[in-house]
Amino acid sequence: MLTAAPSLVGTWRHYSAAGTWHTIIISDNGEGNMEYGVDGKSSGYTETRAWYLKENTLYFGKLTLNGDLYEVIDYPVLSSSETIELFDTLHAGKKYMRLDKGIYVEI
């Protein structure tokens, strides 16, 4: 479903706990990377590499190591109301998507 790929472009964040996040940066030039945060502070980045979408799976690089691939459950949509999903807050009118079992909100 490569036609859905442009909708993935952006910076997306998922909170797995209070102060612990995973950010995915997807650029329109075909490159992307990830950032991790713990205790409210950045704790590391991945190298920038090519991203692509194949059969509803988002890949970062040709060799996917350490979980650098994600099943796209729901492509980006606008939140119709303010909702809290575990540690993620969806504000009305803000884009979000579901990857694997997490909600990623555009920041």
pTM, entire model: 0.84
Nearest to 74 by CA among 104, 106, 30: 104
**Which pLDDT tens digits describe the chain residue by residue (107 residues)?**
455 688 999 999 999 898 899 999 999 998 999 999 998 888 888 888 888 888 888 888 776 555 578 899 999 999 988 887 888 888 888 999 999 889 999 99
**What range defines the domain where residue 94 resides?**
2-106
Report how many domains make up the chain: 1
Q: 24: domain CATH number?
A: 2.40.128
Contacts within 8 Å (CB) and 24+ apart, 32-41: 32/60, 33/60, 34/60, 34/68
The H or E element that residue 72 is part of is: strand 69-78
**Encoded tokens for 65:** 């190591």
